[in-house]
Structure 1
Amino acid sequence: MTNELAPFGADPSRSVRATVTQGSVERSFAILLAVFAIGFGLANAPQVAKQLPYLDPVWGVVVPSVLAAAFFLVGASVFVQRLVQPAQIATAMLFLLALVSWPFTVAEAIPTVQHPWPWWLCNIGTIAAAMGFATWRATVYNAVVPIVFVIIRLTPVGGGVSVTTAVLEGVNIGILGGAALVLIVMLRRAAASVDSAQATAVRRYSHAIREHATEVERVQVDAIVHDSVLTTLLSAARADTPDAKTLSARMARNALDHLAAAATDGPGEVPPVALPELRARITDAVASLPAPVRVEGGPLGPTTLPAAAADAIASAALQAAVNSVQHAGDGVARWITVDEVVGAVVQVEVADDGSGFDVDAIPAERLGVRRSIVERVASAGGLAEIRTAPGRGTHVVLTWPAPAAVDA
């Protein structure tokens, strides 16, 4: 079974999705208003039919019919997004027109015990206004409808009820409409806040990704410059024998190939690398060094790691071996082990029994350990540990992935 981890971790945008957005809230509003309008319209159709004998034969039928058509338009707008707001505005305006024109559509005063048929549909008009209009327009609308209804109820054609009854009915309309308006405004603002927070998170995540890519590229460039260019130049400057000159020429060719590969490689273009291939790559790389370095380790399975991680591990191991050849001294035993370990995919140890050094005493301008080993492996999601002391040899342990990544 292949054990491969993504070098940059999981993308949170694929597993986290906002449950409340402005779009989802608006669609829920549209569906609720459609159900409310059609359901209340059909439920109160008998009330309208009951008052037809008191209404004008023409306008008493036309006005309710036009309002019913607006209700069905609200229902149809659920399936056509661009019609949602126009349908809501049309419903609110037609209801207000039906309410204001009530006295002109009545041929005979209705009984006191009956309400004008717009009474049963007041909340549909106020809710449609709250959804379709801006907040201040919806507020004015919710104030006008109760006032108009109170005036109508006080007239003979509206039932001629007492002032107390008319005011109580108007307050009832205002309370329900105002509550709906407040709820709609609060939900819209909450959804807008969610959208804003999500957009900010995505923007910050994108910025972090760009910064991460820039840092990875900087580490790679620093490592390439040190490993390939500076090392080659130093080797060429010190080449005073035919073998040394041949080695310098070979290193120069390798440096050119490395730079060309770095310029052409892209994400996703290189397949994962198996552990036996990684060991073979390290073996070939250290074979050209002027001092012998043996590569050993236990049996390796088919486990793979990403190409970027394999490149980082192999390059860091080669740099550690180069440092050992240059600084550990003559007659020193050098070895590299490549093994699978518990809790990680691979662990590579580059070691010698030479002079060792003080890690804290490395000058800041020296890039070999910091850039070419520690930061290079860390940029690929691994961990590089330098275990050394003056006179006690050096052990460079490279682990991928880093223990924190395995725990996560």
Structure 2
Amino acid sequence: MAGSRARSYRRVSTQLRWKRFFATTAPGELGVYTYRAHWLAMIGFGVFGVTHMIEVLPIFTQQQSSLHGWYSLFLMALGVLTGCTLYYGLRHSVRPWVFFAFTTVVGAAILALPAAWTGGSLPQNPWISGFIILAVAAAAVLWSPAVAVLYMASIEVVYAVVASQVITTAPRAESWVAAGLSRVVFSLMLVMILTVGKRGVKRMDLNYAEALSETLAMRRSRSETEDQERIDRLIHDNVMAALLDASRSQGVLHRRTRQLAARALDVLAEESSRSTAAHTVMVHDLMDELMDALAPWRTRVRFTNLRAPVRPVGEPRVFVPAYVAHGLTQAVSEAVANSARHSGSEITIVSMEGDVCPPSPINPEGFYLRFTIRDDGRGFNYHDVPNRRLGVRVSIMENLDSIGGRVVLDTAPGRGTTVSLIWPGDVRV
């Protein structure tokens, strides 16, 4: 049952996404705990890389006469990549390209070792050998454990051939066999630890998704209960008024009774269509509903670019399903409430716009709506928000997801927040 709830809610991705080589993996593309685990891994990788770089520098100095000068470019590249990994990790920014570049540079350095060797005897094993462990760890973070083990085996085989058949080391140097076995053991242990950690955070993300799903279901249930109470009140008021009027009339039924009865029937028909998701509202009515929902924040909200008409004058009016209008109104209200509570800004700008677009399975009528909620406040880091605060994740993101929309969140500490709510979600604007 729990698994079905998570699937109905949203499958949590645990794989790093690639858009372009230097792209940042967006927080929304990974689960909450998976994203945190990745930038924590980047910090650990960076710290380990810095300490290993300090250890390697004396070895590099001793081997300068045995290796060509251009080979030092590999050490410089590894130093830069280590610094980038630590920098991005401390900024909680997941950058997959750093891990990929690290594995590539280490592999290239192993392959280039025979060309860099000057022919002299090395006082000890080449300085690049220690970076193999780090490269295997990067492969385990970036890909699967099987790929990491395959990468390790390939690198170790190539390095064994180079160390035993091409270059020579001083007799007192550590045996390349013993050093290789030590690296393999450490690499396998590191891959195992990273694999267990990745599976653990994946399980945590699935549990978190189930919790969000249940929270959203509770909110929907509460909303349905309120709708049902409203229906009961409407029925009670109209039916009781008709009955009271009929009870007080003498002789033939009064015209007022017929009017009240007709009104009661209209109310029942409208609420019946609403309960079966067949009810629709016009876009300009959605704007009126939004204005009413934002009434508590009328002193801080500034409206701009409120263009309700989506189609030219003379063409049929644009309608949206009632549940979509309700979900959009809830999400906009929550975004404005979050801005009022947390941004520190005195003004929140709200805009609504729409236009025609190719028809989609979600919206066969062929139009889209976009709401933008913006402030110039303190901003925040999405994955630093405590898990107990579900406003952004449930009331906004998952609310839009449940009605077929999507959310684009643009925020960072110190540069404000912009929330874009787009319906339908499969449109590209």
State the TM-score, normalized to the length of structure 2.
0.47
Q: Which has the larger radius of gyration?
A: 1
Greater RCO between the two (CA within 8 Å, min separation 6)?
1
